């Protein structure tokens, strides 16, 4: 069979190109360019994935911070409510105790007055008794 200018050999109805053929070299370069382009595309996709992962990580961090902040606000609100209730209970107990002390003081004051009046009467009677026999 005959050889063409391209150094191709004919097998049946197809042409097989050899490595020394300039067309084959162009195809190899095109293949290298395609491979390089594919690698650049893959690297770009990986970079985009990395950026998205970073953004997702930041988003997760923001969500976590927001969640923790919400929990802290809720706990502070609960503690404020608890403190308010305890303060009200303390005020009631203090008021009751104060009232009891006031009542006790009134009772003791009344007893003191009775005792003082009794003392004054006995003193007057004693002084009268002392004046009586000597006058």
Domain residues for the domain of 98 are 9-134
Is 34 domain-assigned?
A: yes
Measured between alpha carbons, how far is 115 from 117 in angstroms, rounded to an integer? 5
Measured between alpha carbons, how far is 118 from 112 in angstroms, rounded to an integer? 10
Residues 6 or more apart whose CB falls under 8 angstroms from that of 19 comprise 25
Is 1 domain-assigned?
A: no
pTM as predicted: 0.45
Is 2 domain-assigned?
A: no
Is 92 domain-assigned?
A: yes
pLDDT in tens, 69-95: 999 999 999 999 999 999 999 999 999
Tell me whether residue 88 is exposed, middle or buried, using C-beta atoms within 10 angstroms of its C-beta: 0 to 12, 13 to 18, 19 or more. exposed
* Residue 35: predicted pLDDT: 80
Return the closest-CA partner of residue 4 out of 28, 29, 23, 30.
Answer: 23
Is 4 domain-assigned?
A: no
Is 91 domain-assigned?
A: yes
* Residue 126: predicted pLDDT: 92
Counting as low any pLDDT under 50, the low residues of the chain are: 1-19, 21-26
What's the N-to-C CA distance of the chain in angstroms?
179
Task: Please check whether residue 12 is in contact with residue 21, taking contact to mean a CB–CB distance below 8 angstroms.
Answer: no
Is 3 domain-assigned?
A: no
Number of domains, the chain: 1
* Residue 111: predicted pLDDT: 97
Measured between alpha carbons, how far is 86 from 82 in angstroms, rounded to an integer? 6
Is 44 domain-assigned?
A: yes
């Amino acid at each position: 069979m005959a050889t063409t200018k391209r150094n191709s050999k004919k097998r049946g109805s197809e042409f097989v190109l050899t490595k020394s053929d300039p067309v084959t070299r162009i195809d190899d370069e095109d293949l290298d360019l395609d491979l390089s382009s594919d690698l650049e595309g893959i690297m770009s996709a990986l970079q985009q994935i990395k950026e998205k992962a970073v953004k997702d990580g930041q988003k997760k961090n923001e969500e976590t911070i927001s969640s923790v902040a919400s929990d802290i606000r809720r706990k502070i609100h609960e503690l404020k409510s608890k403190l308010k209730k305890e303060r009200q209970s303390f005020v009631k107990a203090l008021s009751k105790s104060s009232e009891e002390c006031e009542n006790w003081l009134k009772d003791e004051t009344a007893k003191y007055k009775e005792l003082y009046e009794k003392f004054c009467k006995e003193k007057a009677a004693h002084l009268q008794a002392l004046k009586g026999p000597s006058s």
